[in-house]
Amino acid sequence: MFKKPIIIYESRWLRWMPWNSWVYGQVLYPLVLFRQKKPEVSDRLFRHELQHFYQGQRLGFFRYYAKYIWLWLRNGYKDHPMELEAEEYENTPLTPLEYKWKES
């Protein structure tokens, strides 16, 4: 289990994806990918993606993606419980450790 996310700014992966016009961050556990440069990533977006990292940490790689895909097929993106959980945490301030991860 990963204790720390691997943060990648200006991810080329996100530029290649067909949904790249509206996705600014994505977790491919344990990677946390951002389309923007480091200074352009808001604390809110960083926090949202970190919550997905924590979900992957709790569930493990395979269970996280199996559950994410199943819930997406069942509920769609807008009502996806894992997305709603991440949205709930968006305004939670970063901890000193999380802020260090963002800046490193």
- Label residue 20 by pLDDT band (50, 70, 90): low
- Give percent of the chain with pLDDT exceeding 70: 91
Whole-model pTM: value is: 0.90
pLDDT tens sequence across 44-73: 999 999 999 999 999 999 999 999 999 999
DSSP 4-68: S-EEESS-HHHHHSTTTTT--EEEETTEEEESS-GGGS-HHHHHHHHHHHHHHHHH-HHHHHHHH
Is the confidence at residue 19, as pLDDT, over 70? no
Q: Could you give the 3-state DSSP secondary structure of residue 3?
A: coil
Q: What is the pLDDT of residue 21?
A: 62
Q: What is the pLDDT of residue 11?
A: 84
Q: What is the pLDDT of residue 12?
A: 80
Domains of the chain, by residue range, sit at 6-103
